[in-house]
Amino acid sequence: MMMRAFVTMVLVLAACGGQSPRPAGPVRQQPDRATGVAAFATVRAVLQHPRCQNCHPGGDAPLQGDEGRVHAMNVLRGPTGQGMAAAACTTCHGPANPPSNYGLHVPPGTVVGWHMPTPEQKLVFVGEEPRALCEQLKDPARNGGRDMAALRAHLDTPLVTWGWQPGFGRAPVSTPYATFISAWETWAAAGAPCPN
């Protein structure tokens, strides 16, 4: 019996080239707080780009353009974030909009409903200091009831990814999307720490 165990061990070691077995891939360590805070700086820069903050203002009127001017035609958030009666966001920002190469003043659309956060949970990006932005982003009472996994899933929606391909005459988010997602995931893996 001992001889069989010895032979089995010799065969296993020979198959491994005389080395002990190793894990299949690299072992990833959880990022530390400093790494998470540094990653959040990238996340913050994206969230405070006009493509994102135009739909996340402090007031009830969305912003538009690279300079963040108040939306024309007295457009308002409305009771659900979808706009007001007879002036819903999707009235002008629908999936059937002409392509942006028709000109500068063609309203952008997406395949999902264009909207803002609700009035009760505005999730303001405009003018927020990094710590305040970080804290409200993680707070389900202020972010639309989302946990970190739901927030991450939101980042893959057409409404968000539109910011990297906003069409004719609009500056896309300057941080590459893959860099943003990597920073988000590093920040989340570090426990989503907020800067001091």
Would you list the domain boundaries of the chain?
A: 31-189
Supply 81's token pair. Answer: 């974030």
Which pLDDT does position 144 carry in this prediction?
92
Supply 144's token pair. Answer: 């639309």
Find, among 172, 169, 191, the residue nearest to 180 by Cα: 172
Which pLDDT does position 108 carry in this prediction?
85
Which pLDDT does position 4 carry in this prediction?
52
Distance CA 49, CA 44 (A): 9
Output the furthest CA–CA distance in the chain (Å, rounded): 88
Q: Is the Cβ–Cβ distance between 31 and 39 less than 8 Å?
A: yes
For residue 193, the 8-state DSSP code is: P
Distance CA 48, CA 40 (A): 12
Q: Residue 70: which H helix or E strand, with range?
A: strand 69-70
Which pLDDT does position 28 carry in this prediction?
66
Distance CA 114, CA 159 (A): 7
Which pLDDT does position 172 carry in this prediction?
95
Supply 58's token pair. Answer: 């402090």
Other beta carbons within 10 angstroms of residue 8's beta carbon come to 10
Distance CA 123, CA 144 (A): 8
pLDDT < 70 positions in the chain: 1-28
Which pLDDT does position 26 carry in this prediction?
63
- Residue 64's DSSP bridge partners are 69
Distance CA 43, CA 92 (A): 29
Residue whose entry in the numeric block shows the structure tokens 């409200």: 136
Rounded to 10°, the helix 130-138/33-47 angle is 90
CA distances from residue 63 to 76, 104, 147, 177 in whole angstroms, order as listed: 10, 16, 26, 22
| Residue partners of 113: CB distance under 8 A and separation at least 6 | 82, 89, 90, 159
